[in-house]
Chain A
Amino acid sequence: MRDAGLTRRHVGRLAAATVAGLAVTRRARAATQVVRVGIDLSLTGGDAESAVRIKYGAQLALDEANATLDGVRIEAATYDDGTATAGQYDPAQAATNARRMVGDDAMIAAIGPQMSGAAKAMAPILSRGGLAIITPAATNPDLTDPRYAPLYRPGGKTVFFRTVTTDAYQGPDLANYFAETLKVRALYVLDDSGAFGVGLADAFQRRASVKGMRVLGRDRLDPKAADYAAVLTKIKALGPDALYYGGVLMAGVKLVKQCHEILPGLVRGGGDGLVGPEMLTGAGFPAAEGWYATIASPHLADDPRARDFARRYRARFGIVPDDYAITSYDAGLVIADAIRRVHAADGGVTRAAVRDAIQAAKVDTLQGTVSFDANGDLRDRTVSIFQVRRDPTKPLDSVLDQYRYVGVAPTS
């Protein structure tokens, strides 16, 4: 799972070619248009395991679409925006990937990226190229905020869509939960210096103040540093009841470990950046025990249709999907649906037509009917809360078993 990007890409191509081969034998008579859908994720570094689950979700949707599509064949092309030197997503690599996607004439839509920092680098390039992308995981609100349209939408039309909601809900909704349910009075806020982490922590912090919780301070962690003891000691001396961390797992795993030693017993929470197998295996137990985390989508894994999806997913890839594998599958369904409609109406499938079709989408997916507002945001804005609680009878790295669903986050 952690082989080099090149090898993985080869395997991806091989898989695509095999699927394509099957499709060709089945419908050899029709003249088939081959279209490509890019998949960009952080397959190298601290978020790689989640990336693989997301990738498989998209792949499954596209492969299943190929089995029923006539006259069009979808090829998946995988891109890795993580680099070894960054140790996580690398905005420069993401921009390069976006340029390669835009430059590929057969590319008609894309799925990804996983990380908001990568999305910020990709959005302007994709916008100028008119290539629609649907992210199953990037939640920074700026990306779809019309105020930042000159930055992320210089091409004019909306090309950045999401099958998750944003940190404008994810952060504040957990702040509501901290204030209303957990009765937190004073807290400290940390972020990991990344686009996602800073945005999420800002959104959380604003709502926390509105809710009357005292924000005792805010600090920024260097994700490459190993030692957060100084900051945590400072926080300990301030005596908050809660700690909120906006960020992903590269700093997160170290923070969770050291937090357990220096600040035991505090209410601790973060966003979807803290949801992933690395939290369970890297930070481990008892350090991870009790951390709250949110995801920017409804919790679907217990839904009967999602369970059926999970069965197919597991049979095909041998691992258990998580909620963002589901939102990724949904993104694949939306794109496949757009391609199907464009093909039925015009015959030829083009980038511009697919973008328009996605904008107008009303697709029945695992999370219900997906449709987008004019800015590309999901109309459904559900945020789900989880708490890490060890279930020794289940595999340690199973996100579905070790994160217990707490409920839908309160919106006020």
Chain B
Amino acid sequence: MSFGDLLLQQTINGLSLGAMYALLALGFTLVYGILELINFAHFNVFMVGSFIGLWVLEGLGLSGQSVILHGAALAGALLAALAVTMLLSGLLGVAIERLSLRPLRGVRGPAAMITTIGVSYILFNVVLLGVGADSKNYPDPLPPVAWHIGGAVLRLREVLIWLAALLLMAGLHVFVRRTRLGRAMRATAQDAEAARMMGVDVDRVVMTAFFLGSALAGAGGLAFGLYYDFTSFLIGFTAGLRAFTAAVLGGIGSIEGAMVGGLLVGLIEAFAGQFIAAAWADVIIFSLLVLVLVFRPAGLFGRPAVVKS
């Protein structure tokens, strides 16, 4: 394996991690853009999403690691799992907003943020008590297809995770830019009061932000399970914290920032493992976060560009 191959392989590793972080970071950014609230429940919506994905796949008859699908069957199963997982995760996000955050809207101070931490722990413990502490095997329906580029290996699951992340992010972009509701979201992010006076239904906008963010987290959870072949009640914190870092790094509130931040954190993690030591990855990621916050408080993507253009 030449040095060039090594760099390429670590870039592949990093981009796959990064795609997952980016999907998750978008949820933080969407909600923050609208409510200026850091939603810590998002960590474990991601985790619950990966369990929903697991159950959907099992419901489709894919249990254990022995069933391998090809072609249309594979695409159909994955798309069905993705759709159901995103829908249910999105509804979970809406429920969290409706039941625990809307009553606190307009309350000053950190009450809402603390509530999201509480909700996060509730999800964590409900899953722990419900499914147990051991990690659960994910079905692995992907055929073991891989391409060799020099000494580097690109596997089908990496391509799929990039493709899924790319399409979802593009979809989000179009939604925010081109639809009426997307315009309402951008307006609310800029000035909620003015938007309300112009007739924007702010509750609906907030609900949409939670739905979209949680649906993307669900997609991230499904991707996590398929990529690593397992899920457990514990996965939310490590991935969530890094995704949150990615959102802040990119500039929280900015959709482009979340995407770039996610990829950046993934790449840093991979290259830290290569050139320094895996154990130092967190130190490096979070030091970088501190540096960015000191020198560019609004994140890499300049002004707190929120969900606006």
Tell me the residues in window 272-304 of chain B with beta carbons closer than 8 Å to chain A beta carbons.
Answer: 272-274, 277-279, 281-282
Cβ-defined partner of B230 (8 Å) among A219, A220, A253: A253
Cβ-defined partner of A230 (8 Å) among B129, B153, B230, B273: B273
Q: Chain A interface (Cβ within 8 Å of chain B)?
A: 2, 4, 44-46, 48-49, 82, 84, 87, 193, 219-222, 224-231, 233-234, 236-237, 239, 253-254, 257-258, 261-262, 278, 281-282, 284
Q: Give me the 7 closest cross-chain CB pairs, A-B, nearest first.
A: A230-B273, A220-B279, A2-B132, A229-B13, A230-B270, A237-B1, A231-B278
Cβ-defined partner of A193 (8 Å) among B128, B135, B279: B279
Nearest chain A CB to B7's CB is how many angstroms away?
10
Judge whether A84 and B128 touch: CB under 8 Å: yes
- Bound-complex Cα distance A317 to B233 (A): 28
Tell me the residues in window 94-150 of chain B with beta carbons closer than 8 Å to chain A beta carbons.
Answer: 125, 128-129, 132-135, 137
Cβ-defined partner of A257 (8 Å) among B5, B13, B16, B229: B229
Judge whether A224 and B273 touch: CB under 8 Å: no
Cβ-defined partner of B278 (8 Å) among A46, A87, A222, A257: A222
- Bound-complex Cα distance A401 to B277 (A): 37
B162 on interface, CB distance cutoff 8 Å: no
Chain B residues near A237: list those with CB within 8 A: 1, 5-6, 9
- Bound-complex Cα distance A227 to B153 (A): 16
- Chain B residues within 8 Å of chain A by Cβ, number: 42
- Interface membership of chain B positions 153-180, coded 1 if the CB is closer than 8 angstroms to chain A and 0 otherwise: 1010000000000000000000000000
Q: Which of A225, A258, A278, A282 has the most CB of B within 10 A?
A: A225
- Bound-complex Cα distance A48 to B133 (A): 9
Chain A residues near B207: list those with CB within 8 A: none
Chain A residues near B278: list those with CB within 8 A: 219-222, 225, 228, 230-231
Q: Chain B interface (Cβ within 8 Å of chain A)?
A: 1, 5-6, 9-10, 13-14, 16-17, 65, 125, 128-129, 132-135, 137, 153, 155, 224, 228-230, 232-235, 237-239, 269-274, 277-279, 281-282
Nearest chain A CB to B146's CB is how many angstroms away?
9
Q: Which of B155, B233, B272, B277 has the most CB of A within 10 A?
A: B277
Cβ-defined partner of B274 (8 Å) among A82, A233, A254: A233
Nearest chain A CB to B202's CB is how many angstroms away?
37
Nearest chain B CB to A396's CB is how many angstroms away?
10
Chain A residues near B224: list those with CB within 8 A: 226
CB-nearest residue of chain A relative to B14? A230
Chain B residues near A225: list those with CB within 8 A: 238, 278, 281
Taking A48-B133, A254-B230, A257-B230 as known contacts, 12 extra A-B pairs with beta carbons closer than 8 A to each other, sorted by chain A number, are A4-B129, A82-B133, A222-B282, A225-B238, A227-B17, A230-B10, A230-B273, A231-B278, A233-B10, A236-B9, A282-B134, A284-B65
Chain B residues near A234: list those with CB within 8 A: 6, 10, 273-274
Chain A residues near B14: list those with CB within 8 A: 230
- Bound-complex Cα distance A345 to B169 (A): 78
- Bound-complex Cα distance A258 to B158 (A): 14
Q: Which of A49, A82, A226 has the most CB of B within 10 A?
A: A226
Judge whether B9 and A46 touch: CB under 8 Å: no
Given A221-B278, A233-B10, A237-B1, CB of A87 within 8 Å of CB of B133 = yes
Cβ-defined partner of A84 (8 Å) among B133, B229, B271, B282: B133
Cβ-defined partner of B238 (8 Å) among A219, A220, A224, A239: A224
CB-nearest residue of chain A relative to B155? A261
Judge whether B65 and A239 touch: CB under 8 Å: no
- Bound-complex Cα distance A281 to B136 (A): 9
Chain B residues near A220: list those with CB within 8 A: 277-279
Judge whether A224 and B277 touch: CB under 8 Å: no
Nearest chain B CB to A53's CB is how many angstroms away?
14
CB-nearest residue of chain B relative to A221? B278
Judge whether B133 and A233 touch: CB under 8 Å: no
Nearest chain B CB to A259's CB is how many angstroms away?
13
- Bound-complex Cα distance A175 to B208 (A): 58
Q: Which of A49, A224, A233, A284 has the most CB of B within 10 A?
A: A233
Chain B residues near A262: list those with CB within 8 A: 153
- Bound-complex Cα distance A225 to B241 (A): 11
Judge whether B134 and A84 touch: CB under 8 Å: no
Chain B residues near A257: list those with CB within 8 A: 228-230
CB-nearest residue of chain A relative to B3? A237
- Bound-complex Cα distance A2 to B233 (A): 14
Judge whether A84 and B233 touch: CB under 8 Å: yes
Judge whether A219 and B135 touch: CB under 8 Å: no
CB-nearest residue of chain A relative to B5? A237
- Bound-complex Cα distance A278 to B9 (A): 30
CB-nearest residue of chain B relative to A191? B279
- Bound-complex Cα distance A81 to B237 (A): 21
Given A2-B133, A46-B134, A221-B278, CB of A227 within 8 Å of CB of B228 = yes
Cβ-defined partner of B272 (8 Å) among A82, A230, A239, A284: A230
Nearest chain B CB to A215's CB is how many angstroms away?
15
Nearest chain A CB to B233's CB is how many angstroms away?
7
14 contacts between A and B (CB under 8 A): A4-B129, A44-B133, A45-B134, A48-B133, A220-B278, A222-B281, A226-B224, A227-B269, A229-B13, A230-B14, A230-B273, A237-B1, A262-B153, A282-B230
CB-nearest residue of chain B relative to A282? B135
- Bound-complex Cα distance A258 to B229 (A): 10
- Bound-complex Cα distance A242 to B281 (A): 25
CB-nearest residue of chain B relative to A49? B134
Chain A residues near B270: list those with CB within 8 A: 229-230, 233
Judge whether A253 and B272 touch: CB under 8 Å: no
Judge whether A224 and B237 touch: CB under 8 Å: yes
CB-nearest residue of chain B relative to A84? B128
Chain A residues near B277: list those with CB within 8 A: 219-220
Given A222-B278, A254-B228, A284-B65, CB of A48 within 8 Å of CB of B1 = no
Chain B residues near A46: list those with CB within 8 A: 133-135
Chain B residues near A219: list those with CB within 8 A: 273, 277-279
- Bound-complex Cα distance A28 to B170 (A): 78
CB-nearest residue of chain B relative to A45? B133
- Bound-complex Cα distance A44 to B155 (A): 35
- Bound-complex Cα distance A349 to B273 (A): 55
Given A48-B133, A219-B277, A220-B277, CB of A239 within 8 Å of CB of B1 = yes
- Bound-complex Cα distance A219 to B280 (A): 10
Given A219-B279, A226-B228, A257-B229, CB of A282 within 8 Å of CB of B137 = yes
Cβ-defined partner of B234 (8 Å) among A87, A228, A230: A87
- Bound-complex Cα distance A236 to B152 (A): 10
- Bound-complex Cα distance A219 to B281 (A): 12
Chain B residues near A281: list those with CB within 8 A: 137
